[in-house]
Each structure stands twice: as C-alpha cells, then as structure tokens.
Amino acid sequence: MRLSKRGEYGLRAMIALAEPAEKSSAPQMMQIKDIAAREQISAKFLEQILLALKNAGMLHSKMGVGGGYYLARSAKEITLGQIFRVLDGPVAPIKCVSHMAYEPCGCPDEETCGLRLTMNDVRNAIADILDNTSLSDVTKRQHAVRKKLGIK
Amino acid sequence: MRLSKRGEYGLRAMIALAEPAEKSSAPQMMQIKDIAAREQISAKFLEQILLALKNAGMLHSKMGVGGGYYLARSAKEITLGQIFRVLDGPVAPIKCVSHMAYEPCGCPDEETCGLRLTMNDVRNAIADILDNTSLSDVTKRQHAVRKKLGIK
DNA sequence: AATAAAGTCTATTACAATACTAGACTTTCA
DNA sequence: TGAAAGTCTAGTATTGTAATAGACTTTATT
C-alpha cells in the first residue's frame, strides 16, 4: 500500500501547479526547476515525471526561453486518482480487483474468495477518495487549514 | 497501493486456518503442505510466511509427526489489519501519515500539506476496513456468498 | 544569426525489495 | 530409530525504484 516517490513528487508538482490557479482562473505556468526547488526534488527526476503527465494529457508545456508547464484542464477537472494511475498504476491492492489492470489471482474460486471480497472493498474505498478529490479540492483544503492556523 | 505475494499468501493461509474453525470452535490444525496445496502456493515460501506470523504471536504450531499450525486466538480476534502489518508493514500509503512507522516526508510544511491531508484520509479508509474485518468476518462472508450461489 | 534558456527523449545505473529456493537442523510420534 | 513435521539461515534471480547522464529540439532575445 505504498505511494512511490514518483507518485508523490508528481502529485506534489500538480498541486503546486494548481495552487496559483486558485485565484486567477488562467492556467499558471511554472518551470521544472522552480517546482523542483520549491518541493526539494531532483529536477532531472521531476522532468521525467512531468513528461509522463504531459504524455497522459494532463499537462501542457511551452518550450524555449520563458517556457514551462501548465495544467491541461482546470484544477477542478483533474483528480488525484487520474494522476496516481499515470504514475503508479492501478489503485487496487491486488490485480484480481483492479478495474484498469485485472488479472486473475491464484485462488481456487474468485467469486467466493473472501480475501478478494475484502480487497475489493479496500480498492473502492481508495478509489472513492482519490477519484473524488480534485486538485482544486486539495488547494482549497490547504488554504482552509492555513487560515485556521492564522494567516501565514 | 499493492499487496505483496507474501501478504496475499499469508492472508489466504490465515483464512484457510479460520475456515474449519467456523463450525467447531476448537482451533483447527493444518499442515504447511496442505495449505500450500489447497492455495497453490510454494510450500517453502509459505513456510517462511507462517513462521513470521507465528513469531508475531498470531499462530501456534506443533512440531513433529502429526504437527501443524493453528490460530493462536479465535478467528474473531484476529483482524486482516494485524496480519497485513506483520507481512507487508504499515498500511499508510506514505510515511508521513503512518501510525506505526511515521517519518516526515519532504514537504515544506506538513501541517498544511494537501497531499498529506488526503493521504491521511486514504490511510484511515484502508485501516478502517482492515482493522474491522476479522478472519471470522471473512469466512462468514465466504459462506454467505456460497449459499447465495447455491450450495457448492 | 547566435546564444542561452527551456522542454524532450533515451539510456544507464545503483540500490533495494520481492519472491522464491536450498539445505541443514530440531522436535515428535509410531 | 526413522520418518514426518516445523525451525532457521543463507543465497539468488528478477524486478522495481529512484535517480543520473547526456544529446537533442524549440523558442525568445539580442
């Protein structure tokens, strides 16, 4: 049940890109090195991650001087589940309950396998959260916590 | 978010050990090779897994001819969460929300980190299921499904 | 046109984890 | 006493993770 560094960095980067877009509805462009510096991540590693996200259609980019990355859709329309699946693969803890990468596990009878039934509940619980939490939800929540703790 | 083979086999074995105990309340003893055969698992690999579970106090064993393994407590008192943690470690998707193996992640401010807040929800959702599902719950559910599908 | 700043793409690498396998040892029962 | 069972430690092949490296392309500025 682990989120990889790849997944963690990618999610953090996407949240960072969504953050300024909170107020101005125009998509905010940021450069790899700035995100890397802010999140304390290897820029070279982050580069690969953002590229993957771009190839998955979640980011757009601009090359050359003054270029950078920006969200391909509004922060409300991008969920953590979408990002997670691009970077870390299926959400399901075991293949036999995966929606995006189903494979039979070794149990004698899948239909009545108690482990499978429970792991299916787990999968759904995780997917419920990740697929119903948008980048916008995350940045809103961050701002709410900051406000509660006194400006900052 | 993956259950390892180690975790999968261990959980399946524990469920197998709980299964016959469903009717007779006396703990049922089973041998490694029988569990391995029934669940189609390498007996040698399963051996290590059961040993780990034994050392964690969840199984008892009897050596020598006619020996085997049996649950150390009743199937009602053993949860999937306990088993999972022995075999696969913390349930949390990221260290900074782990109850059993907390470590700070790299984010600038943990208290207001949106990723952390969401991953904490995920952790709790998983733990809620795994810690509130006992081996007895699993075997009961299996029987219910079997009945629904017509005896078997 | 030249240069520098930015993203693009592919390959390689170091390390750790996973999923086993092997084999010697100990305990127990018949 | 011998076979059947669990115990314990070590080793190994494969894969996954987390990077690192470097050459290439595009674009803005001077």
Residues 6 or more apart whose Cβ sits within 8 Å of residue A99: A90, A92, A123, A127
Give pLDDT tens digits for B22-38. Answer: 556 667 899 999 999 99
CA A114 to chain B, closest CA, distance in angstroms equals: 5
Work out the minimum CA distance from B9 to partner chain A, whole angstroms: 10
* Strand C contact at CB of residue B60, distance < 7 A: no
Amino acid at B23: K
Residue A103 CB in 7 A reach of strand D: no
A28 Cβ contact list (under 8 Å, min separation 6): A17, A19, A20, A21, A70, A71
The fold of A1-78 is Arc Repressor Mutant, subunit A (1.10.10)
Amino acid in the structure at residue A8: E
Residue of B nearest to A141 (CA): B114
Q: What is the pLDDT of residues A106-147, one digit of tens each?
A: 787 889 999 999 999 999 999 999 999 999 999 999 999 999
**Rounded to the nearest 5 degrees, what angle is found at the Cα of B100, between the Cα atoms of B122 and A79?**
15
How many whole angstroms separate alpha carbon A47 and alpha carbon A62?
14
Please state the separation of Cα A36 from the chain's center in Å.
Answer: 16
Within 7 Å: CB of B16 and strand D?
Answer: no
Number of A/B CB contacts below 8 angstroms equals: 120
pLDDT value for A105? 85
What percent of chain B clears pLDDT 90, i.e. is strictly above it? Answer: 84
Residue B53 to residue B11: CA distance in whole angstroms:
10
Distance A43 CA to C7 C1' (A): 12
| Alpha-carbon span B80 to B138, nearest angstrom | 9
Euclidean distance between CA atoms A149 and B91, whole angstroms: 29
Contact A106 B41 (CB under 8 A): yes
pLDDT score for A1: 65
Contacts of B32 (CB under 8 A, 6+ apart): B43, B46, B47, B50, B68, B69
Report pLDDT digits (tens) over A25-55: 667 999 999 999 999 999 999 999 999 999 9
Per-residue pLDDT for A21 more than 80?
A: no
Rg, chain B, Cα only: 18
C-alpha to C-alpha distances, A26 to A17, A19, A63, A72, B72, nearest whole angstrom: 11, 12, 19, 11, 61
Residue B60 contacts strand D, CB under 7 A: no
